[in-house]
Amino acid sequence: MPEHGHIEHEVRKALRENEATAGVDVTVKFVSGVVFLDGVVMTVDLKEAVAEVARKVEGVTLVRNRLQVNPEHHSLREQFREGDRRERE
């Protein structure tokens, strides 16, 4: 049986490496074959893409996608990137 931390790491890695989900900031928890996804994303398409990437990770038998959709949500990473860009201008 895979270790919980290992699967969580693999899901986060897969999300970072996927073009559609690379900038997403979600919480990943793995319990007994089930990945729980929590957080806020900007679109339904992104919510579905995150779940699809997680499903493909070896050791994942089920994904509980508890992501909320809020079109006005910006992750902290996006806010920092915008701040860095403004500082350089």
The secondary structure of the chain as a DSSP string is ---HHHHHHHHHHHHHHSTTTTT---EEEEETTEEEEEEEES-HHHHHHHHHHHHTSTT--EEEEEEEE-TT---HHHHHHHHHHHHH-
Domain that holds residue 57: 4-88
Structural domains in the chain (count): 1
Which of 1-5, 27-31, 80-84 is predicted least confidently?
A: 80-84
CATH number for position 80: 3.30.1340.30
For the stretch 4-48, pLDDT in tens is 789 999 999 999 999 999 989 999 999 999 999 999 999 999 999
